[in-house]
A and B are shown apart, each in its own frame.
Chain A
């Protein structure tokens, strides 16, 4: 039986917050900030939490919600996009050990290369970078494993071609 206590919910958020935030950073388009998207994802997770049956992996379930929220925001399907409410209880503080400039630069290259992909490929590549198996990516996107494998072969090639000269 899946534990649906509030404590469990908080533990799930704590464990998955960085995964959610990484996806939000890719999809946030001005004037929507990654923080706004993150809060919306947290809210949607809470809203759907009662319906989670525990049949699937909780991370996979969270990825589905995060991607769906981000895509809806991108396609301007949310009528209240401009008035996303900031929850005071979620704070984004700067870290003490800021990553080296080189690391940040590499991330910027990766981000630039991801942005050259179309939306369909982008949603697959972020899941691939999260180290999910093709089976998990298939269960999130609704495509077959074979389909994902074929697409990934092409996306990987394109991504490598874009980033290799930049990293070198």
Chain B
């Protein structure tokens, strides 16, 4: 009796609003939303690759322009790293489970857990694949930067800008080398910190929620909220 009463209360609860579809416009709206989402995904992918391609071009130019051996090696390493970055991000994306909402709750939760763990691991290990390789290249680049006069070389950009004061901005003196090395080090410490923060503040709570939900669904006994 109570069972049927509850089902009736439940079913009558949607009678408070009249949901109307403008059928001629609905499919147009849905398709527009789908296009917008796909366009955003494409835009994000293009931005990601463009940033790396831009890095490759810049360091390619430096390798061509700058005569110092160590700096040339650093440019080569940086180019390799940018290539690896494209590969790594693509690979990580392709390994993710598709967001299939027609799966059962249990499968959907398992997929979400796997995806979140993968994302968290990627950010948690940022030191090894995103920070140390370019930092090593940066150190080599800055340290290997010699005196242009000794190599009879005048940087093209400075020549083009006709501003010789810019020469003093290059990491030629020990003081400038230390300034640039400190800046690179600080920036990379910040990158590691911000990623660890994202793991702890964003990913770990979500993973915990998913695990709790999985336990609640699987367990035959009451698990408190």
Q: Which residues of chain A have a CB within 8 Å of any CB of chain B?
A: 6, 9-10, 13-14, 17-19, 21-22, 25, 38, 42-44, 46-48, 51-52, 61, 64-65, 67-69, 71-72, 75-77, 85, 87-95, 98-99, 103-104, 106-107, 110-111, 117-121, 123, 129-131, 139-143, 147, 150-151, 154, 156, 158-160, 163-164, 167
Chain B residues lying within 8 Å of A71, measured Cβ to Cβ, are 105, 108-109, 213
Contact of B213 among A51, A75, A92, A130 (CB under 8 A): A75
In terms of DSSP, what is the predominant structure of the interface of chain B? Answer: helix
Tell me, in angstroms, the Cα distance from A160 to B225 when the chains sit together.
19
Verify if B94 is at the interface (C-beta below 8 Å from A). Answer: no
Chain A residues lying within 8 Å of B11, measured Cβ to Cβ, are 18, 22, 129-131
Q: How far is the CB of A54 from chain B (nearest CB, A)?
A: 13
A163 touches B105 (CB 8 A): no
A87 touches B33 (CB 8 A): yes
Tell me, in angstroms, the Cα distance from A6 to B3 when the chains sit together.
38
A121 touches B222 (CB 8 A): yes
Chain A residues lying within 8 Å of B100, measured Cβ to Cβ, are 48
Q: How far is the CB of B18 from chain A (nearest CB, A)?
A: 4
In terms of DSSP, what is the predominant structure of the interface of chain A? Answer: helix
A142 touches B222 (CB 8 A): no
Closest 3 pairs (CB-CB, A-B):
A120-B216, A142-B106, A142-B104
Interface size on B, residues (CB 8 A): 56
Number of residue pairs spanning A and B whose beta carbons lie under 8 angstroms apart:
187
Tell me, in angstroms, the Cα distance from A131 to B220 when the chains sit together.
21
Chain B residues lying within 8 Å of A164, measured Cβ to Cβ, are 2
B213 touches A120 (CB 8 A): yes
A156 touches B29 (CB 8 A): no
Name the interface residues of B1-46: CB closer than 8 Å to any CB of A: 2-3, 5-7, 9-23, 25-30, 33-34, 36
B6 touches A95 (CB 8 A): no
Verify if B152 is at the interface (C-beta below 8 Å from A). Answer: no
A77 touches B206 (CB 8 A): yes
Contact of A95 among B7, B18, B217 (CB under 8 A): B18
Chain A residues lying within 8 Å of B6, measured Cβ to Cβ, are 110, 129, 159, 163
Q: Which residues of chain B have a CB within 8 Å of any CB of chain A?
A: 2-3, 5-7, 9-23, 25-30, 33-34, 36, 100-109, 112, 206, 209-210, 212-213, 215-225
Q: A25-B14, A107-B12 are known contacts. Are A67 and B23 too (CB-CB below 8 A)?
A: no
B221 touches A43 (CB 8 A): no
A68 touches B101 (CB 8 A): yes
B21 touches A129 (CB 8 A): no
Q: How far is the CB of A28 from chain B (nearest CB, A)?
A: 13
Which of A130, A151, A167 gathers the greatest number of chain B CB atoms within 10 Å?
A151
Q: A21-B17, A61-B102, A154-B222 are known contacts. Are A77 and B112 too (CB-CB below 8 A)?
A: yes
Closest to A10 in B: B23
Chain B residues lying within 8 Å of A141, measured Cβ to Cβ, are 104-106, 217
A93 touches B220 (CB 8 A): no
Q: A95-B16, A98-B16 are known contacts. Are A107 and B101 too (CB-CB below 8 A)?
A: no
Q: How far is the CB of B143 from chain A (nearest CB, A)?
A: 41
Tell me, in angstroms, the Cα distance from A95 to B218 when the chains sit together.
40
Q: A110-B10, A130-B10 are known contacts. Are A87 and B223 too (CB-CB below 8 A)?
A: no
Tell me, in angstroms, the Cα distance from A51 to B101 when the chains sit together.
11
Contact of B220 among A64, A85, A151 (CB under 8 A): A151
Q: A120-B223, A156-B3 are known contacts. Are A64 and B104 too (CB-CB below 8 A)?
A: yes
Q: How far is the CB of B88 from chain A (nearest CB, A)?
A: 21
Chain A residues lying within 8 Å of B34, measured Cβ to Cβ, are 43, 46-47
